[in-house]
Amino acid sequence: MERAAIHAVGTVEAEVWEQLGRLGIPYLHRYWQRRWLKLKEPVVEPRKDHGEWDLENTLLSGLGLNILETGRFLHSPSHTGFESFEQWILDTNGGAIEEERLTRLRDALAGKAVGSAAGCLDDVPGLTADELAFWNEHGYVVVHDAVDAEDRDAAAAALYEILDADPADPGTWYKNKFGKTIWVPLLRHSAFVANRRSPRLVKAFAQLWGREDLWPTIDQGGFNPPERAGWSFPGPHVHWDASLALPHCFGVQGILYLTDTPAEQGAFCCIPGFHRTLETWLEDLPAGEDPRRAILCHPRLKAIEGGAGDLVLWHQSLPHGSSPNRGTKPRVAQYIALRPTRWAYAAEWK
Ligand SMILES: O=C(O)CCC(=O)C(=O)O
């Protein structure tokens, strides 16, 4: 199991406890300052402004928020100050957030040990020794039957429903009201929430991270229909979501197939093993070459097939993307990543 890059990087500084709003969540006020007031005046001292991606992820996950919708709210006319931000958080959560969830978040931000949100994982079947060895070698692994079949099917049905599409009628697959994209901003459907909490799924992430204080990103769904005249695959093409600056830190990303996904059916693809060669590959690039452009022509891209309910996990150093769907049915998926309260990352984005 690869654990080398896992570091606990301290707890939140005492100062963030000073400005607790009505939710009583440390760091929330500072997050709001960083994201909003900072645009107008630099209220955060530069020496303390290291991005704080890990804390932001924990905070947003604990409060059940997606990063893009949060940004949209902060730039909307409804945002009139910190109080309106807290009110929006409550509204987004259906009017209230359970005290247990808030306590876990407070504890985590205070540096206290918090266990898995999915309960005790000891007896949950996880990745086998062979699967962990495969992960170390190839940088990805498929977790079979990672979620409850009922939640899997309900999540797929919810995606068809929000798109006003019918699995049996190809004519309905191409009117994505969210634009020319394979992304579908369905975030809090009960089946999506249940999938993020599936013990088997959580256990796999916990094994790879080597810890259980994990927080799911409140991520969206995906619907990648077969290519046809008038619809060509819009991406995402091969990319990294992590910084290419050193150090290249550990991170796990994931996609849950909600229906059977043969390789040609718009499957997730990646360059297996690249997490072990990224550094030398970057060093060997001709001077001035943009790695994010160069990787687009790499010949070793592999489509990863999976059955309904299979979760593909990959190391964030693997170049990856989706692929054109040359099959007969849409690829239907939910994006899922779980990260610890704090983790190590390169401060510089490159
Ligand atoms: O949709 C896919 O298969 C690719 C996912 C992806 O590129 C990502 O999550 O960053």
**Same domain for 236 and 97:** no
Same domain, 224 and 330: yes
- Using the mean position of ligand 1's atoms as its centre, give its distance from the Cα of residue 136 in Å: 20
> Whose Cα sits closest to atom 1 in ligand 1?
322
Residue 123 within any structural domain of the chain: no
Atom of ligand 1 nearest to the CA of 333: 1
- 91 CA to middle of ligand 1, Å? 29
- DSSP class of 89: H
Nearest CA to ligand 1 atom 7: 321
CA terminus-to-terminus distance, the chain: 27
* 236 Cα nearest atom in ligand 1: 7
Note the pLDDT of residue 26.
87
User: Which residues, judged by CB distance below 6 Å to any ligand atom, belong to the binding site of ligand 1?
Assistant: 222, 236, 241, 253, 255, 268, 320-322, 335
Regions in the chain scoring below 50 on pLDDT: 1-12, 43-44, 46-49
**How many whole angstroms from 19 Cα to the centroid of ligand 1?**
37
Per-residue model confidence as pLDDT tens digits over 5-46: 333 334 445 555 557 889 999 889 989 988 886 655 554 454
- Whether residue 345 is contained in a domain is answered as no
What is the predicted pLDDT for the residue at 51?
60
SS3 at position 121:
coil
Distance in Å, CA 35 to ligand 1 centroid = 26
The confidence score (pLDDT) of residue 171 equals 96
User: From ligand 1's centre to the CA of 149, what distance in Å?
Assistant: 22
Ligand 1 centroid to residue 118 C-alpha, Å: 25
Domain shared by 313 and 188, yes or no: yes
Q: Which domain holds residue 243?
A: 129-340
* Claim to verify: residue 142 and residue 273 sit in the same structural domain: yes
Q: Whose CA is nearest to atom 8 of ligand 1?
A: 321
| pLDDT score recorded for residue 52 | 80
Task: Point out the ligand 1 atom lying closest to the alpha carbon of residue 253.
Answer: 9
Distance CA 220, CA 315 (A): 20
Q: What pLDDT is stored for residue 41 in this prediction?
A: 56
Q: How far is the CA of 55 from the centre of ligand 1 (A)?
A: 23
Specify the CATH number for the domain of residue 229: 2.60.120.620
Q: Is the dihedral of CA 284, 287, 293, 297 positive or negative?
A: negative
> Domain end: 109, 138, 159, which one?
109
Q: What is the dihedral of CA 90, 94, 100, 105, to 10 degrees?
A: -40
Ligand 1 atom closest to 268 (CA): 3
Domain end point (choices 49, 79, 109)? 109
Note the pLDDT of residue 19.
Answer: 75
